[in-house]
Amino acid sequence: MIETIYVEDAIQNHPKTKFILNKFKKSRIISINKYGEIFNKRNQNFRIQKANPCLILAHKKDNFVLPAPEGFGLGSSKNFYFSHMYNCIYDCRYCFLQGMYSSANYIIFVNFEDFDISIEKIIENNLDSKVTFFSGYDCDSLALENVTGFAKHILPIFRKYPQIEIEFRTKSIQKEPFLSVKPMPNVILAYSLMPELMSNSLDNKAPSISKRIRVISELASKGWKIGLRFDPLIHGKNWKKLYQELLENIYKNISLDCLHSVSFGTLRFPKRMFKDIFKLYPNEPLFTSPLSLNNKMISYDIEIEEEMTSYCKNLSLRYINEDQIFKCSI
Amino acid sequence: MNNLKKTKNSIRWVIALKEEAQVILDYYKLKPINEKTIYPIYKNEEETHWLIICGIGRNNAAASTAYLYAYSNASNYTSWINIGIAGSCKGNYGDLYLVDKISTYQKRKSTYPSTLPKATLPKMHLFTSDIPISDYSTYELIDMEGSAFFDIASKLTPKEFICLMKVISDGPEDNIKEITKSKISNLMKENLLKIIDVISYYERLSEEEFQIIDKPKLFNKIKSKWHFSATQSYRLENLLRRIEIFCNKKDIEKIIKNCETSNSVINVLNTKIKNNLVNWSKF
Ligand code: SF4
């Protein structure tokens, strides 16, 4: 339940604003001038806000689509990302959003039409390149789909350009925007996964791994392309057994023909971000892990990283081809 | 002013009039402090609650909030409360409201206090004026201190630790000129239970924050045995926080027992973390 919704004056009459507010009839609506008045203030406690976040409906002015950071893509020559939302309804303890914004409130940018224009412009300018778009870099791309309808809105653009890929990276179990339309081979539904035991402690408020796997299996059986993102890989007692069980469970339960790609990423925090997150949640089990400063990043030692990556990769190779496996380095 | 106790929960009240404060002074057993101060200050024996009578107006509210902060050595986990009477065009006489938006004539931008989650109390938009207003038609709530209190308090503590509550005392049907001292006291008394309920949330919040930022249990003991530089102290504190989650006090003391220097203490603790295989089934 969202108790308070702040709405920028400029978009009070935007159809998407009305559509969203209609879903929260009991919430208190407060008009604001600019979302920065709430979101960018320094003196806020992220952890307390996260327990009861407010929603902010705002207008995004620019930077609708940006080049993806190095290491984010999956082999395309050009990678871009866009975020119709800042922050996430889940609360994963390793999430970089915790160290990124001073506020835990969610922002939804309601002017989807401006995202459309920017996306199409980039597509038109890059018709000769292999391009992939990533939805939801500053949020989970589908977690609030039932409120925003963003994926449903954006899919028709990509139906027009079958050579351009789009990846929705998520931990959610939202199926609707995909079950109601014909599968599109250029759309990748990419799920972040880790062994259930670890997820129970780290992926707060997110759907359980077993629920995620059930949805993956259902969408794959309908013909949607699936991405599996084992990112971050988490170390701990029995990690080999836990990852073996997880990987085998997935590979045996989904149609492998629909598997677009599998990627593995290690647990890494920029030093400053780690400091902020540790300050917010100093008593979290994640921080009892053997993490230390390596090359300006807080991470497991390289031996642990390499052992985990190659173990999971080798296991995966029993089911899929090498060219389907990628390394996430961000 | 010196030798103040470090308390687990910490509340600071900023209230304009003694009549508004009396019910709080009585309930929380706050007594005047034994020193001459610019504004009258009260505190309880445990020094968890401090209250300042700021007088009317924005300047007084701002100055007294800053004054109480310094005087009572308030921490960054202190909750700040402003409560008082207000005019309203909308609510009923005697009802208590939480404030979640504040505007003034002076500032173009409004400010947005947080309110406690799942509050049963209704919320309103407060307008802080420098002069008494008799035309109520434009504003939900009207007072003369709220904005200044919030502006200063939000520099001292995160806004989640700040609360403004207003009891409606006047409006189109209830003439401001008819407000008396005893009417004010009664309005506050009638809302005491609701106020206590709100305050218990802020006491809990402050206490929880204290638990999170308080030094690890063994920190002072270890620091008294070896000499740690400022950087080393910081590392020690962080290592202890991490290790205390999976290792008990006795075991930690045992592994560092034979260390000769602070450096070797840090190395031993570092190795302990490096070798920890997190047992996820425990969490
Ligand atoms: S689902 Fe992704 S964006 Fe959301 S909290 Fe978890 S890691 Fe962060």
The nearest alpha carbon in chain B to A39 belongs to: B112
Asked whether the predicted pLDDT for residue B2 surpasses 50, the reply is no
Question: Is residue B83 situated within a structural domain?
Answer: yes
> Using the beta-carbon criterion (under 8 Å), do A236 and B278 form an inter-chain contact?
yes
Does residue A131 come out as left (phi exceeding 0), alpha (psi in the -120 to 50 range) or beta?
beta
The nearest alpha carbon in chain A to B112 belongs to: A38
Could you tell me if B24 and B157 lie in one domain? yes
Mean pLDDT, residues A205-220: 97
Could you tell me if B101 and B190 lie in one domain? yes
DSSP-derived pairing of the beta strands A297-299 and A268-270: antiparallel
Given pLDDT bands bounded at 50, 70 and 90, which one contains residue A163? Answer: very high
- pLDDT tens-digit readout, A93-125: 999 999 899 999 999 999 999 999 999 999 999
Question: Is residue B191 situated within a structural domain?
Answer: yes
Q: Atom 2 (ligand 1): residue with closest C-alpha?
A: A140
- pLDDT tens-digit readout, A14-36: 999 999 999 999 999 999 999 99
Question: Residue type at A259?
Answer: L
Could you tell me if B72 and B16 lie in one domain? yes
- pLDDT tens-digit readout, B185-201: 999 999 999 999 999 99
CB-CB neighbors (< 8 A) of B243 in chain A: 288
Q: Which domain holds residue A113?
A: 4-328
Could you tell me if B273 and B164 lie in one domain? no
CB proximity A48 to B under 8 Å: yes
Could you tell me if B157 and B71 lie in one domain? yes
Could you tell me if B231 and B194 lie in one domain? no
> Using the beta-carbon criterion (under 8 Å), do A45 and B158 form an inter-chain contact?
yes
Mean pLDDT, residues A137-151: 96
Q: Which of B213, B241, B260 is the last residue of a domain?
A: B213
Q: Which of B158, B186, B213 is the last residue of a domain?
A: B213
Question: Is residue B126 situated within a structural domain?
Answer: yes
Could you tell me if B33 and B15 lie in one domain? yes
Distance from the Cα of B15 to chain A's closest Cα (Å) equals 23
Task: Write down the pLDDT at residue A74.
Answer: 76
Question: Is residue B189 situated within a structural domain?
Answer: yes
Could you tell me if B224 and B241 lie in one domain? yes
> Using the beta-carbon criterion (under 8 Å), do B158 and A48 form an inter-chain contact?
yes
- pLDDT tens-digit readout, B26-81: 999 999 999 999 999 999 999 999 999 999 999 999 999 999 999 999 999 999 99
Residue B108: give its domain's CATH number.
3.40.50.1580
Overall domain count for chain A: 1
A100 lines ligand 1 (CB under 6 A): no
Q: Are residues A236 and A198 in contact, defined by beta-carbon separation less than 8 angstroms?
A: yes
Q: Which domain holds residue B247?
A: 219-278
Q: Are residues A33 and A84 in contact, defined by beta-carbon separation less than 8 angstroms?
A: no
Question: Is residue B4 situated within a structural domain?
Answer: no
- Ligand 1 centroid vs A91 CA: distance in angstroms? 6
Overall domain count for chain B: 2
DSSP-derived pairing of the beta strands A187-192 and B96-104: unpaired
DSSP-derived pairing of the beta strands A106-109 and A85-86: antiparallel
Mean pLDDT, residues B1-19: 83
Task: Write down the pLDDT at residue A316.
Answer: 98
Q: Which of B213, B235, B270 is the last residue of a domain?
A: B213
Question: Is residue B1 situated within a structural domain?
Answer: no
Mean pLDDT, residues A302-320: 97
Ligand 1 atom, smallest distance to A138 CA: 3
Distance from the Cα of B13 to chain A's closest Cα (Å) equals 20
CB proximity B157 to A under 8 Å: yes
Distance from the Cα of B281 to chain A's closest Cα (Å) equals 6
- Which residues lie across from A189 on neighbouring strands? A168, A226
Asked whether the predicted pLDDT for residue A287 surpasses 80, the reply is yes
A92 lines ligand 1 (CB under 6 A): yes
A171 lines ligand 1 (CB under 6 A): yes
Selected for mutation to probe chain B from A6, A48, A103 (highest B CB count within 10 Å) is A48
d(CA B97, CA A174): 39
CB-CB neighbors (< 8 A) of A45 in chain B: 158-161, 209
Task: Write down the pLDDT at residue A295.
Answer: 87
- Ligand 1 centroid vs A132 CA: distance in angstroms? 21
Question: What average pLDDT does chain A have?
Answer: 95
* Closest alpha carbon to A37 in B135, B81, B109, B30: B109
Question: Is residue B3 situated within a structural domain?
Answer: no
Ligand 1 atom, smallest distance to A98 CA: 8
Could you tell me if B135 and B229 lie in one domain? no
CB proximity A40 to B under 8 Å: no
Residue A243: give its domain's CATH number.
3.80.30.30
CB-CB neighbors (< 8 A) of A289 in chain B: 276, 278
- Dihedral sign, Cα of residue A68, residue A74, residue A78, residue A79: negative
Could you tell me if B73 and B205 lie in one domain? yes
Structure-model confidence comparison of residues B108 and B258, the more confident one: B258
Q: Atom 7 (ligand 1): residue with closest C-alpha?
A: A95
Question: Is residue B193 situated within a structural domain?
Answer: yes
> Using the beta-carbon criterion (under 8 Å), do B212 and A292 form an inter-chain contact?
no
Selected for mutation to probe chain A from B278, B279, B281, B282 (highest A CB count within 10 Å) is B278
Task: Write down the pLDDT at residue B4.
Answer: 65
Mean pLDDT, residues B176-180: 93
CB-CB neighbors (< 8 A) of B282 in chain A: 285
Tokens representing residue B272 in the block: 């302990």
Asked whether the predicted pLDDT for residue B276 surpasses 90, the reply is yes
Could you tell me if B123 and B245 lie in one domain? no
Question: What average pLDDT does chain B have?
Answer: 95
Task: Write down the pLDDT at residue B104.
Answer: 95
Could you tell me if B108 and B19 lie in one domain? yes
| Cα distances (angstroms) measured from residue B129 to each of A36, B61, B100, B147, B262 | 25, 12, 17, 9, 58
Q: Indicate the residue of A33, A242, A288 with minimum beta-carbon distance to B246.
A: A288
